[in-house]
Structures are given as structure tokens and as C-alpha cells.
Chains A and B, each alone.
Chain A
């Protein structure tokens, strides 16, 4: 299974699971990144980190390390 951080720019995927043991993950859940939800990779900041994704119709920024907590299925 792939991680959200590996999703290429412009591609969409479905969230499979999220490792909810950290505060960052609880935050991601509250912001709508729940299993089964669609997520699209929009791009990254000038230095390649953080990432910008589209989820539930809005744009969210998160670091690569945080995107590593999210498993996706294509």
C-alpha cells in the first residue's frame, strides 16, 4: 500500500487508513482526512515540503512526515 506522500502531483487517491496515534493524525482526521475519503495532490512548496492536497473540496497543507501517516489505495 502506498503512502499519501508518494502520490504524484495532479493524481487522486482514496484514503485507506491513518495511523491515529499522534496529535498530527488526530488533526488530519478532524480536518476531514478519514478513511474512504478522496484526496488529490495539488503540489508542494518551493522547497518540496510541505505538500498541498485537496480534500473534501478545500485545500490543506501538511508536511511530508505527516503525509507518511496516511495510507492510500489507488
Chain B
């Protein structure tokens, strides 16, 4: 698309500081018409929305929230490249929409001053005026419009106030040309930028002036490498220019903040009035409790406990899960009635429905978890949590910023690892990525839920407020956290040494969470889980089913027992009730043995038996070993694998209750000893808490670190850790509980 031609679709880039309600505004403007993807080569999420207004189609590009358009890394460069029309897979924006926080205008206008220099038609959305009012701030919008020379629309994105007017203003920008505004920098600095711009244009006539300015200001060396690729003469020229400017009282890089904030202060003079609100603001008062030494820690633990109680509660999650289970049972029953016995029926019921259905029953819990995380983020508590946790994280050489990626990893390591992008420091980010999979994600929840509810007694303490099952599950989360702390510390001391990176971060005002925004996040995460269950886990369910079904020699398996079965069946006809029970029990044992024989002969069974000596110290039988191998693609697959492995009868419904009962009654071959007991259940849970059985996570690590080295490293260290952890758990708990 050429820049000058009248655009059929208006492309508008949305920028702004974090915590300004940017995603709420984006969702409000574009509704459900959204597309997400990734920019090539970097790890910035590409998010598009669109809307029609008065016959004009508008595409909205949601750029990552940032305080400054000063790229110092490839990820930050994407935002600037998109705005300047240098991003090859993105149309050059026809206009920019900047969202600013009315309660925090001074700092928010910093980025506005940068956007103004891009020369694109710009509209300002003045958001969160309600919080400003609460803080006693009044803004003369009319005057501000004049001072900034930009159209301003007052919005309250969470109430959808002002969105129509904003759409009007955006559409009207289509006919307006962009104008170059006066630079906030002193003339000497501007001259240097112009000189540098001319030099850069000799190489590439398209180079925008804003990049020349950034090149002069960026002392980190990133842009020099990016734009001039080590051009010696230009490098020397830039250094000389900086020295000259420094002598003239315009030191680089401080001159940028000094000049821009001077411009901001001049623009706001007499426009913003602040009344002293009695007893400090709502945020201040709340903060006195929430970031207080004792109160903060107590509140933090309370919130986490509440979150996990809700996730595992019968009332909400339990009922929703039952609903999904019921639907899959009906489907399986229908197929059972319609199809003849054989490989196809087994594939659909034992493979697909058991696998995908079994995993989807955990969707309610995942949604509830993300619901809580989204609420905490929306309220502004997540930054406080990072602030509270920073000291702890800095002990292991990380910063409180790792808290959010690691917390998200409790939902799923994939968004968690991607959230680590906010950490500017590469080393810090790498360590966060490497330990993120140790956080117990929602995919472990099926394993925990199944094994705890089957083997841990439902004892409750404190009048029913805390259950033993909850405590066991909570301790699995703690195992992961403890391991992550140790690994991060060791990585810092060994292969990834270095200084602790900065922790300069805004602590946003508390605000009431936007319900629609929270629901949107929850649906988005839930859907991505369903998509994963629908594709990767679907495919894996089929593969695992095939591995456990083939090769299948039924005649060979049943032959040794054919005579005995016939004799028992004849005896049954005339037996008295007591004898009949015994005979039926014997028939059951025979059927188990036949099933076992068939499985032992399958590809999966053979692999499991090969590794049985290896998993025996963990208290496992070869089936658990097989299930662990089979769950390499995704942890939650262990449920469906165990379903297939232990549930080979004809009535195939992969209902969790049935699987639980099945597991409780599994015996070691030719003995009455149960395979599963509390130590084995704990050992499996610890193994899954620590192992790297998730192909998607490893793939994301590869993408985020851009090397195979790190996913291989992650898989190796986590598998060793999981094995040792499970062995210690089994041996210790068996010594205490079984004797």
C-alpha cells in the first residue's frame, strides 16, 4: 500500500504506556474481530483488530505497552519499525492512536512527545479520567488539545465511554496529512540530528529522521549495530558529536529526558490542577496494608490460597467438569452403540475421546486460574507482587520482573516463557525461561487432581476450610518453586554469571478490574488450551493408541486360557452363589492377564518393559513407565495413556471417576499387592512436577532463545531432576508410610 493513496482500509497503530487500559481500549474498539500472530525473527506478539465505522474499515495494530520509543533490543525495535512503516509484513500506519493515563499525565506525555516526531496523524485517547477525578486531578482538555496540537478524546475504556467519539476522530484522520512538529530538543542537538540524518540518507534515502535522532541518543550500541553495522567513520562521528553536545550542556542520553519533560511541563502548565485528597489516595491507603512487611505477605498467601481453593472447588470447577465429562460419555456411548467392535471403535473411543475428552475436562480449572491471574493483573496487584518479591528474586540473581512470567507459568509455561520478553536483560530472561517450566502448569493439574483425589484421603482441617488434598496439591506447587529457586541460583553461579539487572518499574494505581477484559483474557487462554488439546493432543492420542494397540495377537494371548475359561463357564451354570463369585473373580484375573499380555506385546508395552528396571526405584510398574514415555509430547497425555493402559474393557468411557477406581484396584501381576499407593502417587506427582514432558514448551524455548541448545539443556536437566525427585519421594515416603 502506498502512503499517499487514499487508503481503503485505514491502518491505525495503538501505542501507550503499560497500565493505561490499552488492551481494554483495543478490545473495546475491535470487539471479537481480532487476529494474533508473531512478527518474524523476534518474539513480539502481532495483534490486529478491526472495526467498521461510517463505511470506513479500520485495522488496529496493538503494539506492546512501552514507556518510551527508544529501542535497545530487537523486540523494542519492532514497535518503532511498525510505526515508521519499516516492518515488511505490516502496512505503514495511516495514523497513530496514543492512549494516555489521565491520572498520570506527566509521564504519559513523554511517549506522546516521541510519537509527535514520527510525523503521522495522531489522536490521543485520554483514558481513566475516573481515577484522575478520584485522585483530585482536573484537566482542561480544550487547552491541552491546543497545546499538544493533537485531537484528544476523553475515554473510560472499561465502561466503553467515549469509544464512538474516538472512532469518529480516527476515521476523520484519514483525510488529514501528518505534520512534522517542532522538536522539543535544543537547536544544537537538532542540527547534529539533521547532519546525521543526511549521512544516513546517503546510504538509504528512506531513512526517517526519527531513527537518526535515536541513533545519536542510543548509548547502548544496539542501534549502531542495527543501522550502520559497524561503520567506523560514522561511529567516530557520532562519538565526537556526543562529546561536543556534552560540552554545550546537552549530555547524551540525559538530554532526551530533560528536553521532553521540559516540553511536557510547559504543555501542562496551568492545565492540570491537583487538589489534596484527604487522608491520601485510595491506592496509598490500600498500599499501606498490601505492601506492608507483614500484611503484604499474609495477603499474598491468602490470595494464592483462595485462587487454588477456587480452582479445585467442587461448587464451580467440579460441576463444570462433570458437565464436560457427561457430554463426552454420551458421545462415547453413542459411538459404542453405532460402531461394530474392532480397531476403528477402539481408536475413536479409547484413543480420541479418551485422550482429548480426558484433557478437556480440565478446561474449567484452567479458565478459573486465568480468571484470577487476569483480575490480579487488571487491579494493579501484579506489579505490587513483583515489588514485594523483588528482594527474594534478587537473592537468586533475578528481579521481581521474573515474578509475572513465572506466575503465568502456573497457568501454562508457554505464555509464561513468552511473558519473559518484558525482561530486558538477556541473562535474566534466559534464566527465567529455563526455570519457568518448573512452575506447575495447568497441564500438571490433571495428574495432580487424578492422583490426589484417588489416593489422598479427603481429610479436612480447620473446620473444613483446608483439605489434605489441597495441601498435597499445594506442596506439588512448592516443590516446583523450590526447584526453580535452586536451579536459578546454580545457573547464576555457573553457566550464566553476571550482574543483577535494574528494577525500575511503575507501581500503578489500584483500580477495579474490567470484567469484560478479564473474561476476554480467560476465553483467549481457554481457547488456546482447547486448540492445543484439539491438535497436538489429538494427534498424540492417536499415536499412543496405535502404539498400545499394535502389534496385536489376540489368538496367542487368549490360547493358554481358552480351556480354563471354557471349564469355568460350564461350572458357572450350575454353581451356587458363593462358588460363582469365586469363579467370576478367576475369570476377571484371566481377562486382566490377557489384556496385560496384549499390552506387553504392543510397541508401547515393549518400550515400557525395557525401561522398567529404571523406573522401579520410583515405585513404578512398567505401565507407569510407558505412560511417562508416552506423555513426552504433553504431560496431560499421561491421563489418556493411563486410561488406555488400564481400561481395556469394552465399556470405554474415560470418565475421571472410573479411571480413579481403576487405578485404585490395579494389582502387580500375579499378586494382590496394589500398584498404586500413596508413595507411588506422590512419586508420580513429583516426577510430573519436575519433568519437561511438554514438546510445545521445548519448541517455545527454542523459538525464544533462537537455539536448540537451550531446549535440549532444559529437557536434560529437568528429566534428571524429576527422576531424582521422584526416587527420593518414593523411597522416603515408602519408608514412613508402608512400614
A binds B: yes
What is A's interface to B at a CB cutoff of 8 Å?
Answer: 18, 20, 22-24, 26-32, 34-35, 37, 42-43, 45-50, 52, 56-63, 66
B163–chain A nearest beta-carbon distance, Å: 25
Out of B110, B274, B291, B390, name the residue touching A49 (CB < 8 Å).
Answer: B390
**B169 within 8 Å of A (CB atoms):** no
Give the chain A neighbours of B503 by CB distance below 8 A.
50, 61-63, 66
User: Could you list 9 A-B pairs, sorted by A, with CB under 8 Å?
Assistant: A32-B107, A35-B258, A45-B296, A46-B391, A48-B391, A50-B400, A52-B291, A57-B103, A59-B507
Out of A23, A42, A57, A59, name the residue touching B220 (CB < 8 Å).
Answer: A23
Give the chain A neighbours of B293 by CB distance below 8 A.
46
Stretch at the interface among B79-87, B249-257, B331-339, B367-375: B249-257
Out of A52, A57, A66, name the residue touching B387 (CB < 8 Å).
Answer: A52
Q: Bound complex: CA of A22 vs CA of B253, how far in Å?
A: 10
Give the chain B neighbours of A45 by CB distance below 8 A.
291, 296, 387-388, 390-391
Give the chain A neighbours of B387 by CB distance below 8 A.
45, 50, 52, 61
Whether B390 contacts A31 by the Cβ 8 Å rule is no
Residue of B287, B391, B394 with highest tally of chain A CB at under 10 A: B391
Q: Bound complex: CA of A62 vs CA of B399, how far in Å?
A: 11
Q: Bound complex: CA of A57 vs CA of B265, how far in Å?
A: 13
Whether B502 contacts A24 by the Cβ 8 Å rule is yes
Whether A49 contacts B505 by the Cβ 8 Å rule is no
Which residues 377-398 of B sit at the A interface, judged by CB distance below 8 A?
Answer: 383, 387-388, 390-392, 394
Stretch at the interface among B66-74, B193-201, B644-652: B66-74
Give the chain A neighbours of B506 by CB distance below 8 A.
31, 58-61
Residue of A29, A31, A52 with highest tally of chain B CB at under 10 A: A29
Give the chain B neighbours of A31 by CB distance below 8 A.
67, 107, 504, 506
Whether B107 contacts A61 by the Cβ 8 Å rule is no
Whether A29 contacts B107 by the Cβ 8 Å rule is no
Whether A49 contacts B391 by the Cβ 8 Å rule is yes
Give the chain A neighbours of B103 by CB distance below 8 A.
57-58
Give the chain A neighbours of B283 by CB distance below 8 A.
59
Q: Bound complex: CA of A37 vs CA of B261, how far in Å?
A: 10
Binary CB contact string for chain B from 498 to 531 against chain A (1 if under 8 A, 0 otherwise): 0001111111110000000000000000000000
**B450 within 8 Å of A (CB atoms):** no
Whether A63 contacts B390 by the Cβ 8 Å rule is yes
Q: Bound complex: CA of A60 vs CA of B283, how far in Å?
A: 13
Which residues 234-293 of B sit at the A interface, judged by CB distance below 8 A?
Answer: 251, 253-254, 256-258, 261, 274, 283, 287, 291-293
In this complex, what residue of B is CB-closest to A62?
B504
**B695 within 8 Å of A (CB atoms):** no
Q: Bound complex: CA of A66 vs CA of B503, how far in Å?
A: 8
A-B CB proximity, top 3 nearest: A24-B502, A29-B257, A47-B391
Give the chain B neighbours of A50 by CB distance below 8 A.
387, 390-391, 400, 503
Q: Bound complex: CA of A63 vs CA of B274, how far in Å?
A: 29
Whether B291 contacts A43 by the Cβ 8 Å rule is yes
**B219 within 8 Å of A (CB atoms):** yes
B496–chain A nearest beta-carbon distance, Å: 18
Whether B110 contacts A32 by the Cβ 8 Å rule is yes
A2–chain B nearest beta-carbon distance, Å: 20
Q: A20-B253, A26-B219, A32-B257 are in contact. List 15 more A-B contacts (CB 8 A).
A: A23-B220, A24-B501, A30-B257, A34-B257, A45-B387, A45-B391, A49-B391, A49-B394, A58-B506, A58-B508, A59-B506, A60-B506, A61-B383, A63-B394, A66-B503
Give the chain A neighbours of B297 by CB distance below 8 A.
46
Q: Bound complex: CA of A1 vs CA of B344, how far in Å?
A: 82
Give the chain B neighbours of A56 by CB distance below 8 A.
104, 106-107
**B655 within 8 Å of A (CB atoms):** no
Residue of B253, B257, B506 with highest tally of chain A CB at under 10 A: B257
From known contacts A29-B254, A29-B256, A48-B391, infer whether A60 and B504 are also in contact, taking CB-CB under 8 Å: yes
From known contacts A26-B253, A30-B70, A57-B274, infer whether A66 and B502 are also in contact, taking CB-CB under 8 Å: yes
Give the chain A neighbours of B505 by CB distance below 8 A.
60-62
Give the chain A neighbours of B394 by CB distance below 8 A.
49, 63
Q: Bound complex: CA of A56 vs CA of B251, how far in Å?
A: 22
Whether B291 contacts A27 by the Cβ 8 Å rule is no
**B75 within 8 Å of A (CB atoms):** no
In this complex, what residue of B is CB-closest to A69?
B502
B482–chain A nearest beta-carbon distance, Å: 19
Q: Bound complex: CA of A56 vs CA of B400, how far in Å?
A: 23
**B224 within 8 Å of A (CB atoms):** no
In this complex, what residue of A is CB-closest to B390?
A50
**B424 within 8 Å of A (CB atoms):** yes
